[in-house]
Structure 1
Amino acid sequence: MSPVTSPDTPPVVQRPVRAAYLDAAEQAARLLVHPPVAESWDDMSVLAGMTVGALAGHLARSVLQVEWFLDGADGADRADGTEVRPTSAVTYYARIVDAPDPGSALNRGVRARSEESAEAGPAAVADRTAETLGRLRTRLPREPADRRVAILHRPGEEMLLDEYLRTRCVELAVHTDDLALSVGTGTRAPDAAAGVAVDLLVAAALERHGAHAVLRALTRRERDDVGALRVL
């Protein structure tokens, strides 16, 4: 027998990227309560210029930010009535060209926001992440397939929710690994999220450099003059 639902209750949407994101967020939340994270909070992480606390705060933001974006405006039209074309996850990363430079404006901003998040302390960061994840587990499956979110740090841009979650799979997979290495644990993001991350980053490399450069990077590294696979 099918469960009885209210006519006002949105249907549950089973989408692989949403499941992959939630599982990766759960793994990140478990890592944030791992005692060595709190014990090493003020120590330097494996990322230059970032403490373990700042890195943990940055990892937490890939959970917190999804809720912030969902709570923001959901519109596909500008004030003048013209349609906003959503940015793809591939383009979102393909145009980030200054990520490898620690002194870039991008990285300075990331460090500042991460340090701000870390100021709350390890317990508060972990608790807030877990509480937000609990709400997202209920909320995300009920968001419609065409749900858009405004990209708050890129005014005027929007993404389809599932495209945005692909970018969060990248962030969760990469920074779970960073934080785990920083505190000496073998924690990794689930394979599904790591697979989403790899697919997206290779696609971004293709958009940025073209197929021949990526082919060389994959098969003839001695001919890889542009570092084609280095997206972030």
Structure 2
Amino acid sequence: MRSLSIGDLPVTRYSIVLPFLNQIRKLKLLAVTLNHKCQCLFFEKCPNLEVLFTQDVCGDRGLQVIGQFCKKLRKLTHNGVFDPWWGLIGMWQRMLGKEDGITDLPLDNGVRAMLMGCNKLERLDISLRHEGLTDVGLEYIGKYGANLRSLSLTHIGKSNAGLVKLSEGCPRLRKLKLRGCPFCEQVVARYVFNILSLRYVWFESSDRESSDRDSSDCVRTYLALTRPEFQL
């Protein structure tokens, strides 16, 4: 068995798949009913994993476990299924036994650990709620994503500074997609071409000012850039 897709997995049947996980090359894990300990154990048991799609409830810890145990990973799609910080806060309350004092838990450190551990990663797709990854996380992607060739980010970053930091790294990046990120069109057009290997950029953003004036009418901006024509 080389590929496994799990839509849901009761805890009572959890042990059935464990003996096969070390053979898995491709894993699609949609079992969001699994607690964070079970999901992390999944990742620990998949040393030969090359492709992973996860609707992760493990947050920062899950990414760190992936970086520690899934050294052969080449493609990662990470969809956060939690409401803004609700899942992460709940996870850390269970782990640390704290009921308060947690106000901001982005995945910056987890992304850094994952990229440092999975140095063969070529394709990364991260979709989170707003500010699930800050400008620091974008800097980490640029710094440690040396082998990334395709990068897709949804609702990532806090300011244009994060994009600038990202553009200073990723020397092999050829394809970049940005959706719902807080970057202005001019900065995208100016800085992403600091990445000399880049061949295609897709940028989609919401006009927050317009949407604030009329919440029923959200204006979207689309920008596509390609080399060598640089056509808009």
Please indicate the TM-score interval, normalised by the length of the shorter structure.
Answer: under 0.3
In the superposition, the TM-score normalised over structure 2's length comes to 0.26
In the superposition, the TM-score normalised over structure 1's length comes to 0.26
Larger fraction in strand: 2
Structure with the bigger RCO (C-alpha within 8 Å, sep 6+) is 1
Larger fraction in helix: 1
